[in-house]
Chains A and B, each alone.
Chain A
């Protein structure tokens, strides 16, 4: 810790100078600015049924209603997993374990990230999350003819994770940098897996596995459920690599009022049944997997 302190101090100072220098024209808009501008810019990356890329998706509909709630126009801003945080905060960052490294300023392009954005420790250092909107978990999914065998649940998640990792030694495993599928977050390299970083769209992970590019991939539960529906009998779930996680709507740290407004909006949408209808529409199976998460909404 003492050894890392000067380095950390340097990063923080650099970040501070950068922030003070570019803040006037790079900050994401807070509530007043969004209202003044008359538009809510939704940063989205096509991913599962959150943002389908065809103009709809659970998070697209949610943000459209949020814009309506604020009384402003909705605008979808397409981005990528690599740039999504920079487009929101004006700072290009890189995850370093559970810490971040700021690489430099970038233009702010949006006010909110909503596309099944998993709440991760390193992300929480650069963005603020709303109350969790969706449950998730990271699973390992393999091709059907793979010699990897699905684990038998023990009732203890830690033991289940260990059983999965035990099988990964020497196996090819796909991950995606700067996302919840970042392999380093789950210690798979330490388990001996041959990690391979996927450069394409997250929706193309499973087809890559089926095609035989790699034996297995990391996948979050919502995407895994979609994959089991889309390619039945061609893939199989081996087991978990994480405990249950949450997804949320992310805001720049400089937009506390917009965050507050979003939390109030989510509360309202939960109360009037709108949010539950969205979940039913896009992820009907998730109710059975995460009964506790949706118990309040039901």
Chain B
């Protein structure tokens, strides 16, 4: 208690408590006002619904009244009157009277077609019968009419001056009959009756848009058969009733309009007292929640601070992500530029390598020419220092000696000892001269052979020269192999390499750039030759096999060596520019691959393993 007083002494707390009390009071006021309004609304809704049903009963009353008038008009129509007139004249069915009946029936059919409720016809059948109940003319369904008329005409109070609505008791009411007397010259001569389709009436008037509202017409037995005045609404309602029922007489008919409707459709789903309870509960919940939220306020602030911090961090991360994106874009651009530079460098290297290849090829040519020229020079030098001058000198001396003894030349040769030696020496010199001639002829032959080889090499080299490059032509692969081996003869001989040729039979035609294929062959042969120079200086058997073949629409050749072989996983790498088994530029195989694939061929390099040799296989499409 003391604590409470202490709490209230604080002006701020007192003000807050006062405000809370006022709030609670205002809430109670609102709840009570809402309860009172709900009760008023319910009474108003019930009253309005009842008014609507009464209005519907009036509409039905007017509808049946109109139908009675229509049937009465039909019964008094000229069409029906003509029949009775002709009958009164004595006309018979066989001769003329039937025409009147046909007219009546046509009129009935037209009448049924004219009177409609929506898409449905109001009348299902019509009948005209005479006073004794015999049918004269009929249209549509007449069995029900006859039955209902018979039922009511048997009653003592049946009959009447005007139209009547007749219904056979039962529920539901499928049909009702509107019967009206026919008169001719003031006397009743028959009755016209129309069968009303009550189902059509129900569909048109009684069907509610709200499925829960059920309406039907029931027969008011006290008024059945005559159009007596109505009774008041008989059923009432109560707030606590789950199902409300209204029974309203339809004026001028034997029907009551009975409507059943769930109370919730009128009063709402919730009763006012329950709504009061719910609203009060809601008020308490709101108060409790308010208290709770005050407590939550501090925590909310902390959470908001955290949220703010998280937002800032998120923004920072976002900024960094943007920077990363920018960096990535720059990186991609740089990679692209570097790639372009690399491609440019590769192209330059390729050009340089091509030039180096050409220089290498020129070196090979010069080497081959040198190989041929050197022995020729030796022979020429030998020819310079040969003994021909000495022989000539000694022959001149012999000639001078013999000239001096011209006078006694015979005795000098035959008897003088010096003369005998001169003769013998001259013979020796003549034989030496013969030998010299033989040697000179041999040297000339060798020089000739060397010069021929040089000429042949030059001719061969010229045939693969640049002026014929890039021209596709048909060449014999066997011949190309022969030429390549001939061009590499010096290298092969120098390397002490035994060559084994396995040519395919006949000419093996291939359509390629001839000089580049030659370069490819030479590159592969040289590659094999180099592969057989083992790093440890060992010198196993050095064999090179070149095989040409034709199989499955392909022609090609294989160059197999007994060299250092390949690692099984490095076969493809060797075709890449810069890869070499021997430390060279690595252009040779790259060149080969580029050329072969450019000409629709394929190239592969296989090996059983290190130090087990390797095979280069090249194939091209068979041009035939």
Contact = CB atoms under 8 A, between A and B. Distances in A.
B221 interface: no
Interface string B92-128: 1111101111110010000000000000000000000
B99 A285 contact: yes
Contact of B99 (A151, A160, A229, A239): A229
Contacts of B90: 149-150, 236
B102 A233 contact: no
A239 B98 CA distance: 13
Contact of B82 (A150, A153, A233, A239): A233
Contacts of B89: 144, 150, 233, 236
Contacts of B151: none
Contacts of A160: 94
B86 A224 contact: no
Interface of B: 78, 81-82, 85-86, 89-96, 98-103, 106
B102 A288 contact: yes
Contact of A289 (B78, B92, B98): B98
B93 to A, nearest CB: 8
A289 B94 CA distance: 8
Contact of A237 (B78, B95, B101, B102): B95
Nearest to A228: B99
A179 B289 CA distance: 110
Contacts of A237: 91, 95-96
A289 B102 CA distance: 10
A150 B103 contact: no
A139 interface: yes
A57 to B, nearest CB: 20
A232 B85 contact: yes
A160 B82 CA distance: 24
B98 A151 contact: no
Contact of B96 (A139, A149, A152, A284): A139
Interface of A: 139, 144, 149-153, 160, 224-225, 228-229, 232-233, 236-240, 284-285, 288-289
Contact of A236 (B78, B91, B103): B91
A233 B91 CA distance: 11
Given A144-B89, A150-B90, A288-B102, A236 B96 contact: yes
A153 B86 contact: no
B82 to A, nearest CB: 4
Given A151-B95, A236-B86, A288-B101, 18 more contacts: A139-B95, A150-B95, A150-B96, A153-B93, A153-B95, A160-B94, A228-B100, A229-B99, A232-B100, A233-B89, A236-B89, A237-B91, A237-B95, A237-B96, A285-B102, A288-B99, A288-B102, A289-B99
B86 A232 contact: yes
Nearest to A144: B89
A228 B102 CA distance: 12
Contacts of B82: 228, 232-233
A285 B102 CA distance: 6
Nearest to A225: B99
Q: Which of B92, B95, B101 is the most central at the interface, judged by chain A CB atoms within 10 Å of its CB?
A: B95
A152 B89 CA distance: 12
Contact of B92 (A151, A228, A229, A284): A151
Contacts of A150: 89-92, 95-96
Contacts of A224: 96
Contacts of B81: 233
Nearest to A236: B89
A149 B91 CA distance: 8
Contacts of A151: 92, 95
24 contacts: A139-B95, A144-B89, A150-B92, A150-B95, A150-B96, A151-B95, A153-B93, A160-B94, A228-B86, A228-B99, A232-B78, A232-B82, A232-B85, A233-B86, A233-B89, A236-B90, A236-B91, A237-B96, A239-B95, A240-B95, A284-B106, A285-B103, A288-B102, A289-B98
